[in-house]
Structure 1
Amino acid sequence: MTLAHLSIDDLKAQARRLRDAMTAAGTPVSHGRALELVAKSHGARDWNTIAALGSRADNRPAAPTTVGAVVTGSYLGQRFRATVLSLKKLSDSDFYAITLHFDEPVDVVTFDSFSAFRQRVNGTVDSRGVSPRHTSNGEPHIVLDL
């Protein structure tokens, strides 16, 4: 059973709609019974079980951005404006794999005599848009302006 996309409010709204529909069909049920029926429809043993799962889903951080969004931030210390090409939640962690396409290539080398430009990069960010990986000076690889 996966309820990652459902909140407690979503589940309660389903129960209200079910109760209203059953009443309109001539079979009124109490709100409590409607909650139990919604829980069973999602494969849970009872309302308390699904409410506990829904609560955990409500407390998960939201994704930092969406696919197709235009974002700004810094990559290896260089400012950028980019389009998010992909964003995928990494299993049961609070991290996301992200692919960015920079409007203008970013020079990722800090030496004056050498340059290496990147226009598309892959990385990992948390729900705040900050990479868990850091450069040698302690700066996160990716920081999105949220």
Structure 2
Amino acid sequence: MNAPLPTARQAKELAKRLRMKLADDGTEIGHGASLEMIAHQHGFRDWNTMSAALAGGPSHDWPIGAKVSGTYLSQPFTATVMSRTTVRADWVRLELHLDEAIDVVASSRFSNFRRRIFGVVGPKGHSEERTSDGQPQLQLNLLP
């Protein structure tokens, strides 16, 4: 499992320690450059982007074994997180094992039941991909 993003204060402390370590090794850099390096290490384009993401509050960690509820192709479900891979900052690919199979086909002519779902979700718990009615294909919430 990947470590969660640091807070803004922790990121600044990481940048300070990085700058001090580089100085000990004979490379002098400014604090701004060290902040940029920390942002890049966490998958962000620059410090301003990381700082803005951190200001939005913590995102879900989606730990393996966590119970979640949500909708997939507008069908409600509950599931367990089986695997998690970071795709980019705050976006993860999840494998979910559903408690009960759901039919992911809207047609009355045939069915396609699934017990496993793979999807990429962002910091708000939904996918970028949308259904024809504009809803995210996958929406998740952590259960207590």
Query: What is the TM-score when the length of structure 2 is the normalising length?
Result: 0.65
Contact 2:12 2:35 in 1 (8 A): no
Query: What is the TM-score when the length of structure 1 is the normalising length?
Result: 0.64
Q: Which residue of 1 aligns with 2:44?
A: none
Residue type of the partner of 1:120? R
Please say if 1:81 is aligned against 2:78: yes
Q: Which residue of 2 aligns with 1:124?
A: 120
Q: Partners in 2 of 1:77 and 1:103 — Cα distance? A: 16
Q: Partners in 1 of 2:75 and 2:128 — Cα distance? A: 17
Q: Partners in 1 of 2:84 and 2:19 — Cα distance? A: 31
> For this pair of structures, how many residues does the alignment match?
122
Q: Secondary structure at the match of 1:9?
A: helix
Q: Partners in 2 of 1:45 and 1:97 — Cα distance? A: 35
Q: Secondary structure at the match of 1:50?
A: helix
Aligned pair partner of 2:99 in 103, 120, 143: 103
Report deviation, 1:71.
0.5
Q: Which 5+ residue runs of structure 2 have no aligned equivalent?
A: 40-46
Residue type of the partner of 1:72? S
Q: Secondary structure at the match of 1:60?
A: helix
Aligned pair partner of 1:49 in 20, 33, 49: 33
Instruction: Name which one, 1 or 2, has greater alpha-carbon Rg.
Output: 1
Q: Which 5+ residue runs of structure 1 have no aligned equivalent?
A: 15-34
Q: Partners in 1 of 2:8 and 2:127 — Cα distance? A: 30
Report deviation, 1:97.
1.3
Report deviation, 1:132.
0.8
Q: Partners in 2 of 1:104 and 1:44 — Cα distance? A: 58
Aligned pair partner of 2:68 in 60, 67, 71: 71
